[in-house]
Structure 1
Amino acid sequence: MLDTSRDESPAPTEEPRGCLFALSQPPLMIFLAVIGCLLLMASVHDLFLL
C-alpha cells in the first residue's frame, strides 16, 4: 500500500548550484574574456614585435 503520510518534510526543490552555473554568469564571462584578450595581445606582441 502506498504511504501518503505527511510526517516527513518534502525534498528541497532548489538544487545546489555548481561551477557551471558560476561560469554562465555574464560578468564573469566578460572578465574572463578581457583577461584572455590581454593575454592574447601580449603573446602576439612578444611573438611578432620583439
Structure 2
Amino acid sequence: MIPDTERPTVYDWNATCDICLRPRSAGGHQKCSKKRQALRRQQESKQK
C-alpha cells in the first residue's frame, strides 16, 4: 500500500490537465476536453 501522503489526491489530479499537463487554472482547455472525448470514443469503439 502507498501511504496517503504519497498518493496524489483527487484535488492534485484535477489541478493539472491530463491532456496538456498544464494547470487547469491556466484556462483554454476546451481543445483538451475535445481530445479527451475523442480518445474515449476511440477506446469504446475498440472494445466492441
State the TM-score, normalizing by the size of structure 2. Answer: 0.45
Which has the greater radius of gyration?
1
TM-score (ref. length: structure 1): 0.43
RCO (CA 8 Å, sep 6+): is it higher in 1 or 2?
2
